[in-house]
Amino acid sequence: VQLQASGGGLVQPGGSLRLSCVASGFNFDQYAVGWFRQPPGKDREGISCMSNREGVTYYRDSVKGRFTISTDYAKNTVYLQMNNLRPEDTATYYCAVGLCSGPIRPYEYDYWGQGTQVTVSS
């Protein structure tokens, strides 16, 4: 099982980025996938998750209405579209496979990709 996250970068406040997470060794449509971030000096926090099998999607309150999780099962890729980015969104972003429940808890995820850095700054 491997996950490869990409798409991070430097963006101005109010800008947009789309993160991608490509899976190999398994199919996303059989698992729940989550996006997490770890701001500098802070703990890792759950942003969004979705489970195709259970038909659920969850978002952290601070990103609702700005971030959208989606999948392209043909490409075995999960995306995180991030709009109206704020400086407080600056963090290393990770994708992971595990359990998608209301509280998006890192310890419920077993497989992690490497991080991709997102910096929101003018």
pLDDT value, residue 61: 95
- Please give the angle made by the CA atoms of 68, 49 and 8, to the nearest 5 degrees: 55
C-beta of residue 17 within 8 angstroms of C-beta of residue 1: no
pLDDT value, residue 25: 86
The three-state DSSP-derived secondary structure of the chain is: CEEEEECCEEECCCCCEEEEEEEECCCHHHCEEEEEEECCCCCCEEEEEEECCCCEEEECHHHCCCEEEEEECCCCEEEEEECCCCHHHCEEEEEEEECCCCCCCHHHEEEECCCEEEEECC
CB atoms within 10 A of CB 18: 13
The residues of the chain scoring below 70 in pLDDT are none
pLDDT tens readout for residues 65-97: 999 999 998 999 999 999 999 999 999 999 999
